[in-house]
Amino acid sequence: MKTIFIFIQALLFVACSFTRETPKEWQTIFENNNANGTFVLYNLDTQEYKYYNSLRSDSAFIPASTFKILNSLIALETNVIKDENEIIKWDGIDRGWDKWNRDQNMKSAIAVSCVWFYQELARRIGKNRMQNWLNKVKYGNRQMGGKIDNFWLQGNLRISANEQVKFLEKLVNNNLPFKKKNMETVKRIMITDSTGNYIVHSKSGWETKTNPQIGWLVGYVEKGNSKWIFAMNMDIVKKSDLELRKKITYDILRDEKIIK
């Protein structure tokens, strides 16, 4: 009898953990911001998933600059760059943004999402090694297409919000096929917000070749010993919509009492 009771409890836990019912507060957040998108939140402690627009959470989009997370890992693992502090000289080409028009290291480049820096890393890695790592990590659909230095922007690579969460879960738990020191480095350079109560590690992305365009924000929050992983994407109809990636994410994290 006790065994049956434990089994029923386990079934209920699994059912609750994978529920795809949208919290009403999340729906209000998206509607108040006139945003069409999806949000996935995964609690590492309870293994509970929460969703907004669960159907879209399975839909795959080009990762855009969120791919810089994996690009950083591969670059460090293949030793095409020594560490997060090694400088790559700016080539002098004006790319229309002062923050890009300067020498960069990985730490500065990921903070400003510097495309030319990560294009150089990708060229150093090379197509064959890049494809091998996509396969090892099982990242999205694993299809590059396009050129080695723009396939995550204009190629065939696609990933869903759910897949982003699974990838980040492996990173957080050091379960990716990279040296631990490299994973710890990438997690460290992903820090975008740190207070006395919580630390946010995140990376944004902006795909500009489709209509509507797609905006991403993926990452995780540390609060004490607890961690929550999130991934959101949304339609970008006008440039001002880009600000909503962080606004919606933080509104949801506040609603869940994860941050203040």
pLDDT, one tens digit per residue, over 160-173 is: 999 999 999 999 99
pLDDT value of position 19: 53
Q: Specify whether the backbone of 196 is left (phi greater than 0), alpha (psi in -120 to 50) or beta.
A: alpha
Tell me the mean pLDDT in the region 195-215: 97
C-alpha closest to that of 83 among 111, 116, 108, 114 = 108
User: For 23-58, what is each residue's pLDDT tens digit?
Assistant: 999 999 999 999 999 999 999 999 999 999 999 999
Helices 161-172 and 180-189, packing angle to 10 deg: 120
What mean pLDDT, rounded, does the chain reach? 93
Structure-token pair, residue 72: 């950083």
**Residue 151: which H helix or E strand, with range?**
helix 151-154
CB burial class (10 A; 0-12, 13-18, 19+) of residue 175? exposed
pLDDT band, very low/low/confident/very high, at 221 (cuts 50, 70, 90): very high
Q: Is 41 helix (H, G, I), strand (E, B) or coil?
A: strand
Instruction: Please tell me which residue in 54, 65, 113, 202 is annotated as part of the active site.
Output: 65
pLDDT value of position 21: 78
Q: Specify whether the backbone of 257 is left (phi greater than 0), alpha (psi in -120 to 50) or beta.
A: left
Strands (DSSP E) found in the chain? 37-43, 48-52, 60-61, 159-160, 191-194, 199-207, 213-223, 226-236
User: For 61-96, what is each residue's pLDDT tens digit?
Assistant: 999 999 999 999 999 999 999 999 999 999 999 999
C-alpha closest to that of 65 among 218, 240, 188, 212 = 218
% of the chain exceeding 90 in pLDDT: 91
Structure-token pair, residue 24: 């009403």
Helix H segments across the chain? 2-17, 24-32, 54-57, 68-77, 106-111, 115-125, 127-137, 151-154, 161-172, 180-189, 243-255
Q: Write the single-letter amino acid at 192.
A: T
User: For 121-175, what is each residue's pLDDT tens digit?
Assistant: 999 999 999 999 999 999 999 999 989 999 999 999 999 999 999 999 999 999 9
**Residues in the chain, how many?**
260
* Residue whose entry in the numeric block shows the structure tokens 């030319």: 116
Q: How far apart are CA 233 and CA 73, in angstroms?
A: 22
pLDDT value of position 14: 44
pTM value? 0.92
pLDDT at 5 over 50: no
Active site residue 240: no
